[in-house]
Structure 1
Amino acid sequence: MDNLNKFKDDNKLWNKNFFLLWQGQLVSCLGDAFYSIALGFWVLDKTGSSTIMGILMAAVSIPRIIIGPFAGVIVDRFDRKKLILLSDFIRGIGMLFVGYATFNDFLEVWMVIVIGVICGICSAFFNPAMSSIVPDLVSNNNLLKANSAQQMATSTTNLVGTMSGGFIYSIFGAYAMFLFNGISYILSTISEVFIDVPKIEKKNTQLTLKEDFKEGLKFTFKLKGLVILIGVALGLNFFFAIFSILMKPWFNMDPSLGVAKYGIITAFESVGIIIASILLTNININPQNRSKVMLSSLFLQSIFFFLGVFINKFYIMCVCFFIACFFNTVSNTVSTSAMMLTIPQDMRGKVMSIATTCCMAIHPIGTLIGGVLGDIFDPRIIIIICFTICIIGTIPIFFSKITKKVLNYNPETQTLEDIKN
């Protein structure tokens, strides 16, 4: 324990290790935002096909879904810092190649797909490794703030990328934005070289990868409250996937809305996420109050999304979606932080990757079902039904004592045995 605590500073969130990790993520997330926008324009210019864009997105996500659970096992067995450095470096080289090929006018769609698959594999290892080390770099009291700071970095860069990406593309072209993304990953790699990451105290070292994976599943299902939280995340991701895929046709079909207002409301959502992240980065939430904060936010996010869609007045919708995304960020950050505290260091990679992969896998299913329903019924009606189900489905969780135990778990005063029943 003393060996682990030397990497933390109980009085500082922005210690050297976390700051280096955060600033690297900030730069690479901005690069990703630019890359995503430039890639969309490049595909349309090159092929004129939105189907190709869907294939490219699948090329990145499918490897993460397939490899994700097993990547977490490897993260718990090997040097997490080396996995993070290698993942970012490979992605950087891949993005630099895409930029170079675009500049010299020999980039083909199949090349982008191959790079997308490679980057997806790297992400499958990078994400659980990142989730695994954050609790080791900051104190338990600062973990919620650390997760909020990371969410703030992602949301801010997405907003900046969305607002400026088209303008930058029109001036410099796709190659410059591709190169920027590659450089951002290399800079992130350089920053991460100087991070001190504690070694995992390995247990059951004789286990095979298959047995180790089973250990992660066994641990997860022993904590019923943790299973409920993962189940809630699965359900919400499913309905939010339907919501996200139907928003564009809804706005496109409604003469009072339109494409321009879609961009405005997306900005309101991003600002709600950013403000919630800034707030959570600067306040302390008592462990005993985490369940109250998380469950209330979980309920309120569905209420405000429902109200925005149901009332269907643009300015009211902007306010409701802003508030809904604010509470969505609070509930996600608090629940993720609670899960990180609950999972032991040597289990964190595989358990978090199992949860993340399940949530990722449900998203394409939701978008597929949402797309089919949107072709048959009024998209707005489908969205209203989805949020109605979310509101009703959230209510029983308020009465789940085992879920509250997981959310309120304090490793400094409790043991895992205290929350298993």
Structure 2
Amino acid sequence: MSRLGGEGVFAALRVANFRLYFAGQSVSLVGTWMQAVALSWLVLELTGSGTVLGLVVAAQFLPVLLLGPYGGLLADRADKRRLLMATQAALAVLALLLGLLTVTHVVRLWMVVLLAVALGTVNAVDNPTRQTFVPEVVGPQLLRDAVSLNSVMTNAARAIGPALAGILIASVGTGVCFLANAASFAAVLLALRVMRIDRLQPHPALMREPGQLVAGLRYVRGMAGLWAPLAMMALIGTLAYEFQVVIPLLARTSGDGDARTYGFMTAVMGVGAVVGGLAVAAYGKTGVVPLVGAAAGFAAALAVAAVIPWLPFELAALGCVGVASTVFLATGNTTLQLVADPVFRGRVMALWSVTFLGSTPVGGPVVGAVAQQLGPRAGLGLGAAACLAAVVLGLFALPRVPPQHRFLQTRAAPGHPPPLTETDRT
């Protein structure tokens, strides 16, 4: 039987709490992608500069780089459901404020920068908390399925949100996208509120002690099955995932060069990402070896997108980029979730957020400057080169990765996380 049926990827939806969480996040993430598109377009409307856009995107993710490890430590210590309710409410307030400033035509670049920093500060806590909350909702035996479903959900939103944003920006302006995002948080807050707390499977909260942040870093350093995927993502996250910078500029030089072109480009990538998420869920492998293969596929997709000049073919190539980017992201995320001891999982996933999102303050301005001076296709080519470098790094690290972490089981044994022993350390 295919993994898409019966005991397959949709098995996680048999858990009532996960159905609530999945439904709430599905609505909220559409709004989040609408805001991401609108924010990039707003900066271009205010400045017309790809370099400035890169700096604004960097400002949004700088707090993740600086505060991400502390956010992960807080996730390990806190009641994750209550912490998520707080972070999601804060993100809703910030989206509402940005929307009101925009629709009243008083928004200025410095306001956008300040709000971007505030969004990044909240996300430094929200990202590792959301990722480590999923095992508490479904349990370790359904973790792979839940992570795969989350990837599909995120990328379905990535297909729908930008298309809606492109239509709204062209018809009623960018501010409405921010207001819609603020309203969308009601769905996830309601889902978290009505969950059956007695059916969650929380790991005991970490007691506050000195040295816990350093202990998490030392734990990662001692396991090649963790540091190798993180190092690969550091390279790829810095230079290949800068789509918020490259795609708006590519849209301006392709087709009609308006917000609808941008929306369609991002939506096509989202459709491809849904396909990639379903492929990982149904047929994908987990572990360091599959991650190296995923990085190679990502490099090839970006290289093709960088050289195709005609818009219809460019859209097809971007769809392939969406597939490849999600295969890499979902494989890396699941690998870390399954390898990491639950005691350290918050701190490990915080480092994943740092390498994925926190690398943007470095990569955003670099890619923005390259795309501004040499064209957006050069920005895509730079991402392809970064993926190839990650493949080389992964192959170099592979002899140090324990055999059980090169290819991982798709599920842990019921009720237990993947076993970790001293032989796992390198």
Report if TM-score (shorter chain) is over 0.5.
yes
Residue in 1 aligned with 2:222?
Answer: 222
Residue in 1 aligned with 2:270?
Answer: 270
Q: What SS does structure 1 have at the residue aligned with 2:277?
A: helix
Q: What SS does structure 1 have at the residue aligned with 2:343?
A: helix
Residue in 1 aligned with 2:350?
Answer: 353
Shift of 1:354: 2.1
Shift of 1:84: 0.3
Shift of 1:121: 2.2
Shift of 1:278: 2.9
| In 2: Cα distance, 1:118 partner to 1:393 partner | 31
| In 2: Cα distance, 1:69 partner to 1:89 partner | 22
Unaligned runs of 5+ in 2: 1-8
Residue in 1 aligned with 2:137?
Answer: 137
Kindly report which structure 2 residues correspond to 1:116-131, keeping only aligned pairs within 5 A, or say none: 116-131=116-131
Residue in 1 aligned with 2:291?
Answer: 294
Corresponding pairs, count: 403
Q: 2:257 aligns with which of 245, 256, 259?
A: 259
One-letter amino acid of the counterpart of residue 186, structure 1:
A
Larger Rg: 1
* Correspondence 1:31 to 2:28: no
Q: Deviations over 1:228-267 (max 9, x none)?
A: 11111111223315787456656766xx877377665544
Residue in 1 aligned with 2:69?
Answer: 69
Percent of aligned positions that are identical: 19
One-letter amino acid of the counterpart of residue 229, structure 1:
P
Counterpart contact for 1:144–1:334, Cα < 8 Å: no
TM-score by length of 2: 0.79
Q: What SS does structure 2 have at the residue aligned with 1:329?
A: helix
One-letter amino acid of the counterpart of residue 353, structure 2:
T
Kindly report which structure 2 residues correspond to 1:225-236, keeping only aligned pairs within 5 A, or say none: 225-236=225-236
Q: 1:201 aligns with which of 204, 209, 212?
A: 204
CA 1:392/1:310 → structure 2, altered by over 3 Å: closer, same or farther?
farther
Shift of 1:161: 2.3
| In 2: Cα distance, 1:270 partner to 1:192 partner | 26
Shift of 1:220: 0.5
| In 2: Cα distance, 1:385 partner to 1:38 partner | 25
One-letter amino acid of the counterpart of residue 322, structure 1:
G
Residue in 1 aligned with 2:301?
Answer: 304
CA 1:120/1:284 → structure 2, altered by over 3 Å: closer, same or farther?
same
Shift of 1:408: 2.9
Q: 2:325 aligns with which of 318, 323, 328?
A: 328
TM-score by length of 1: 0.80
Residue in 2 aligned with 1:86?
Answer: 86
Shift of 1:98: 4.4
| In 1: Cα distance, 2:234 partner to 2:100 partner | 39
* Correspondence 1:339 to 2:336: yes
One-letter amino acid of the counterpart of residue 397, structure 1:
G
One-letter amino acid of the counterpart of residue 13, structure 1:
A
Shift of 1:198: 3.5
CA 1:25/1:402 → structure 2, altered by over 3 Å: closer, same or farther?
farther
Shift of 1:12: 3.2
One-letter amino acid of the counterpart of residue 352, structure 1:
M
Counterpart contact for 1:38–1:178, Cα < 8 Å: yes
CA 1:405/1:76 → structure 2, altered by over 3 Å: closer, same or farther?
same
Residue in 2 aligned with 1:387?
Answer: 384
Q: What SS does structure 2 have at the residue aligned with 1:207?
A: coil
| In 2: Cα distance, 1:285 partner to 1:41 partner | 35
Counterpart contact for 2:271–2:319, Cα < 8 Å: yes
Residue in 1 aligned with 2:160?
Answer: 160
Residue in 2 aligned with 1:7?
Answer: none
Shift of 1:80: 1.2
| Deviates most, 228-237 or 358-367 | 358-367
Shift of 1:349: 1.1
Q: What SS does structure 2 have at the residue aligned with 1:259?
A: coil
| In 2: Cα distance, 1:42 partner to 1:331 partner | 30
| In 2: Cα distance, 1:60 partner to 1:280 partner | 29
Name the Cα RMSD after superposition.
Answer: 3.6
Shift of 1:132: 1.0
Shift of 1:42: 5.6
Counterpart contact for 1:335–1:407, Cα < 8 Å: no
Counterpart contact for 1:80–1:133, Cα < 8 Å: yes
Counterpart contact for 2:289–2:406, Cα < 8 Å: no
CA 1:318/1:44 → structure 2, altered by over 3 Å: closer, same or farther?
closer
| In 1: Cα distance, 2:95 partner to 2:250 partner | 34
CA 1:81/1:321 → structure 2, altered by over 3 Å: closer, same or farther?
same
